[in-house]
Each structure stands twice: as structure tokens, then as C-alpha cells.
Amino acid sequence: MTMPAANPASQPAILVARAIPPQVLARLQQYFQVQDNQDDVQWSATELAQQLQGKQGLLATGSERIDAALLAACPQLRMVANMAVGFNNFDVPAMTAAGVLGSNAPDVLTQTTADFGFALLMATARRITEGEHYLRRGQWQRWRYDMLVGAEVHGSTLGIIGMGRIGQAIARRAAHGFGMRVLYHNRSRLPAEVEEQCAAHYTSKVDLLRQADHVMLVLPYTAENHHCIAAPELALMQPTATLVNIARGGIVDDAALAQALRQGQIAAAGLDVFEGEPQVHPDLLALSNVVLTPHIASATMPTRIAMAQLAADNLHAVLVAGQEPLTPVNQADPVARARRWAG
């Protein structure tokens, strides 16, 4: 988006909560009074509220909790733009009731995240991390037919739970690139034409877990989705199956997963997200049949720049152009919004 120049005397004040790509920060500085955090200090809730005093906008990264307490402490805050597709750091009802707009960053990370999800599936199924560690420890002395044998990917059955943009992109890779049979479960069934494009078949969650050779989680975190995969669900899976989570921590019961992996209830797991991250359940760290990555599914520089730029564009649309967010996550209560924005 090309932002028109603003009058410096009337520039709104915003806070950028974490380090962002310098070129996006430079663009923001053309249109806003910017307080940045390029040192990437992660503030407590109290410190974030202090930093937000006098600010109309916030560029958040997903690690800043926007709740009723913070909104009450920051009466001038009007707009929060998340540099992430997920927004479980937003208390959306509280923001709506307070008259504060929120936005996220969909679409710009879809393909990159789908690539990573498939990479994590491949690493998990083919025991790539385990094989590297085996080699580095000097254990590879000779060839053997059953050395580090993994699971087939091509021609196998992939079950996707959460069939939004990223889930659909993964399904297309699986069906058209690897000849996989794709099952999916979603809150609502996709239109027939989308199912055809993805070569995906709708089924119940129970049937998906029972049939899939590989299960991929791509659903948003909500209270209803908390521990969507826990001990009962893991018990439905095949002992040769793998589980990959590129969605959000808390969707999987990490303690139950560690137990299932330890007991051979499922073969392996690949995890990019964790409950309470950056902390990782110690039982997972002790296991060899789990591939662990530090929430990097969208981590290419072009994608991270695009995520930051979309957040910046959302702030500009609302606070400079007087428009609605480009990618809104709520519609603020009009009375509360008028009251807050009049201040």
C-alpha cells in the first residue's frame, strides 16, 4: 500500500512493541510519532501499559496481551495491529466493548507457513533430526536395511484439522505434489469447488484421527480448541502415525503428547508451537522421536517484512486515513468508540 504523506504536526503517536524490519520502521516514522523498541525488550503487562501512555496506536507481535486491564489503563489507545495471523493475544470482546479496533496479518504468510508445515512433516516422518543427531554422535558406522527407517509420505493419508488458507495450501501440496489422500476436519465444511481444488475430503475428527498416517494441526487457538488433541484423541491415532502442530500452543496437551510418544502410542511428532512458549515441556525435550522448532513457520525475511508492513498499513488506514482496518478482527462498539476517540 502507498501511504500518502501526513502533516507532521498532526501525526498520531504509536508504540512498536518489539523489533521490526528497519525499512518498515522507517516508513512508519514518515506518518507517525513512533516510539520503537528495536532493542526488542519484552515488557511486562505493567511496563507495556506505561509505554502506551499517550499513544493512539500499537503495533504488536503476538506476545503482547491486550485485555481489559490494559485498555482501561491506556484510554487514548484506539488501534492495535498484530504482526501475526493469529490474535489469541487479543481479548476481542474487551477491545470491542472499549471501542478499540484490532487487525491481524492474514494471507501474507500463507505460502511460507505451508512450506514450513510440509517441511516439518517430512522431517518428522523421515526422522531427519534423529538421523542428524545419530550421525553427529559418531554412531553411523555402516549401512543396515532398517537403520532409521521412517514413514512414507508420498501416497499416504494426510489429515488436516483446520482448513483455512494455510490448511488449504498444505492440502494442495500434499495432493498434487505427493499424491497423498487428504482428509480434513473443520468447523464448517468447505464449498465443493474448494474441496476439489485441494483434492480434500471432509470427515469427522474421530475418523480423521483413526485413518490418517499424518495429522497436521492448522486451526486457530480458542477456548473451544484448548487441548483439541489430548490423551483421548491421541489414543485414536495409529501407532505408526505422526502429529504436526504449526497452529498454536495449547491446542495440543503437550504432557499427554509426551506420554503418547514415550509409550509408542504414536510414532513421532513435529512441533513448532508449545504451551507456555518459549518454555517447552521437559518431557518433550527428553524424547528423540519429536522434532522441535522455535515458532518459526513464517520465518523468511520477505514474509516477516510483509507481515510488519500489513500491520503498518492497518495503523495508517485507521489513524491517518480515517478508514477501517484493511484486515479487521473486530468492529468496535460505536458508542464506546466515539467516546474513546473523542478524548
Catalytic residues: 248, 277, 295
Among residues 151, 186, 150, 149, the alpha carbon closest in space to that of 166 is found at 186
CB 81 within 8 A of CB 315: yes
Q: What share of the chain is helix, strand, coil (3-state, %, to 5)?
A: 40, 15, 45
Could you tell me which residues are beta bridge partners of residue 56? none
Q: How far apart are CA 60 and CA 77, in angstroms?
A: 13
CB 184 within 8 A of CB 159: yes
CB 160 within 8 A of CB 173: no
Rounded to 5 degrees, φ, ψ at 243 are -125, 130
Rounded to 5 degrees, φ, ψ at 103 are -140, 160
CB 226 within 8 A of CB 252: no
Count of other CB atoms within 10 angstroms of residue 319: 22
Give the sign of the dihedral formed by CA 23, CA 27, CA 28, CA 29.
Answer: positive
Q: How far apart are CA 58 and CA 56, in angstroms?
A: 7
